[in-house]
Amino acid sequence: MTFGRKLLSATALAMVFAGATAIGGPAPAQAEAKAGGTLVIGSTQKPRHLNPAVQSGIATAVPGTQLFATPLRFDANWKPQPYLAEKWEVSDNGLDITLHLRKNATFHDGKPVTSEDLAFSLETVKANHPFKTMFAPVTSVETPDAHTAIIHLAHPHPAILLAMSSALLPVIPKHVYGDGQDLKTHPANSAPVGSGPFRFVEFNPGENVILEKNPDYFIEGRPYLDKIIIKNYKDTTSLTLAMDKGEIDMYPFLEGARNINRLKENKDLTVTSDGYAAVGPINWLAFNTKREILAKKEVRQAIAYAVDRNFITKALHAGASTIATGPITPASPFYTVDVAKYDLDLDKSKAMLDAAGYPEKDGARFSLTIDYIPGGDEQQKNVAEYIASQLKKIGIDLQVRAAPDFPTWAKRVSSHDFDLTMDIVFNWGDPVIGVHRTYLSTNIIEGVIWSNTQSYANSEVDKLLDAAAKEPDEAKRKADYVAFQKIVADDLPIYWLNLLPYHTAYSNRVGNPPLTIWGTMAPMDEVYLNN
Amino acid sequence: MTGTEQVAAPEEPGAAPLKVESPIREAWRMFLRNGSAIAGLVLLIGVILVTFIGPQVYPVDPFEIVWAPLTPPGVDASIPFGTDYLGRDVLAGIIHGGRATLAVGASAAILTVLIGIVVGALAGFYGGFVDEILMRLTEFFQVLPPLLFAMVLVALFTPTLTTVAVAIGVVSWTQTARLTRAEFLKLKQLEYVTAARAIGSRNGRIIWRVILPNALPPLIVSATLIIGVAILFEAGLSFLGLSDPNVMSWGLMIGSSRSYIIDSWWAVTLPGAAIFITVLSVSLIGDGLNDALNPKLRER
Condensed to tens digits (0 to 9), the pLDDT of residues A193-237 reads 999 999 999 999 989 999 999 999 999 999 999 999 999 998 888
The answer to whether the CB of B285 falls within 8 A of the CB of B37 is yes
Are A237 and B259 within 8 A, CB to CB?
yes
**Shared domain check, A301 and A165:** no
Q: Share the mean pLDDT of chain A.
A: 90
Nearest to A430 by CA among A156, A157, A66, A88: A157
**Shared domain check, A509 and A423:** no
Share of chain A above pLDDT 90, in %: 79
- pLDDT score of A358 more than 50: yes
Nearest to B235 by CA among B58, B97, B64, B53: B97
Who wins on pLDDT, B162 or A51? Answer: A51
Q: What is the pLDDT of residue B297?
A: 58
**Shared domain check, A302 and A270:** no
Q: pLDDT-derived band of residue A25, with 50, 70 and 90 as boundaries?
A: very low
| Mean pLDDT within A487-513 | 95
**Shared domain check, A315 and A266:** no
Give the model confidence (pLDDT) of A142-167 as tens digits.
Answer: 999 999 999 999 999 999 999 999 99
Cβ neighbours of A382 in B, within 8 Å: 85-86, 256
Identify the weakest region by mean pLDDT among A219-233, A244-258, B60-74, B270-284. B60-74
Cβ neighbours of A405 in B, within 8 Å: 155
- pLDDT score of A243 more than 90: yes
Are B155 and A404 within 8 A, CB to CB?
yes
Q: What is the pLDDT of residue A107?
A: 96
H-helix or E-strand containing B212? helix B212-239
**Shared domain check, A436 and A365:** yes
On whether any CB of chain B is under 8 Å from the CB of A530, the answer is: no
Q: pLDDT-derived band of residue A8, with 50, 70 and 90 as boundaries?
A: very low
CATH number at residue A200: 3.40.190.10
Are B86 and A237 within 8 A, CB to CB?
no
Where are the extended beta strands (E) located within A288-402? 322-323, 366-371, 396-401
Number of domains comprising chain A: 2
- In this complex, the residue of A258, A381, A405 whose CB is nearest that of residue B155 is A405
Q: What is the pLDDT of residue B200?
A: 87
Are B87 and A315 within 8 A, CB to CB?
yes
| Mean pLDDT within A111-122 | 95
Q: Is the dihedral of CA A115, A117, A120, A123 positive or negative?
A: negative
| Mean pLDDT within B228-251 | 84
This prediction's pTM: 0.80
**Shared domain check, A291 and A382:** yes
Q: What is the pLDDT of residue B286?
A: 86
Are A315 and B158 within 8 A, CB to CB?
no
Predicted complex: ipTM over 0.85: no
Beta pairing class for A494-499 and A503-507: unpaired
**Shared domain check, A522 and A374:** no
Distance CA A198, CA A209 (A): 12
| Mean pLDDT within A52-71 | 93
CA distance to partner chain B, nearest, from residue A269 (Å): 21
Question: Which domains are present in chain B?
Answer: 26-297 (1.10.3720.10)
Give the model confidence (pLDDT) of A431-443 as tens digits.
Answer: 999 999 999 999 9
CA distance to partner chain B, nearest, from residue A390 (Å): 8
Are A385 and B245 within 8 A, CB to CB?
yes
The answer to whether the CB of A251 falls within 8 A of the CB of A394 is no
Nearest to B96 by CA among B131, B68, B62, B121: B62
Beta bridge partners of A503: A254
| Mean pLDDT within A367-390 | 91
- pLDDT score of A5 more than 60: no
| Mean pLDDT within A419-447 | 93
Nearest to B168 by CA among B189, B186, B154, B183: B154
| Mean pLDDT within B40-47 | 92
Q: What is the pLDDT of residue A209?
A: 96
CATH number at residue A304: 3.10.105.10
Judge residue B276's burial from the number of C-beta atoms within 10 Å of its C-beta, 0-12 exposed, 13-18 middle, 19 or more buried. middle
Structural domain containing residue A56: 3-27+35-275+503-529
- In this complex, the residue of B64, B68, B243 whose CB is nearest that of residue A389 is B64
**Shared domain check, A446 and A434:** yes
**Shared domain check, A366 and A316:** yes
Query: What is the edge-to-edge ordering of all strands in the sheet holding A208-213?
Result: A198-204, A208-213, A227-232, A38-43, A250-254, A503-507, A269-272
**Shared domain check, A492 and A512:** no
**Shared domain check, A238 and A362:** no
Give the model confidence (pLDDT) of A310-346 as tens digits.
Answer: 999 999 998 899 999 999 999 999 999 999 999 999 9
Q: What is the pLDDT of residue B162?
A: 86
Distance CA A165, CA A160 (A): 9
Give the model confidence (pLDDT) of B254-271 as tens digits.
Answer: 888 887 887 788 988 999
CA distance to partner chain B, nearest, from residue A326 (Å): 25
Q: pLDDT-derived band of residue A290, with 50, 70 and 90 as boundaries?
A: very high
- pLDDT score of B298 more than 80: no
- pLDDT score of A21 more than 80: no
Are B256 and A381 within 8 A, CB to CB?
yes
**Shared domain check, A431 and A301:** yes
Q: pLDDT-derived band of residue B15, with 50, 70 and 90 as boundaries?
A: low
CA distance to partner chain B, nearest, from residue A524 (Å): 33
The answer to whether the CB of A449 falls within 8 A of the CB of A414 is yes
Q: What is the pLDDT of residue B18?
A: 63
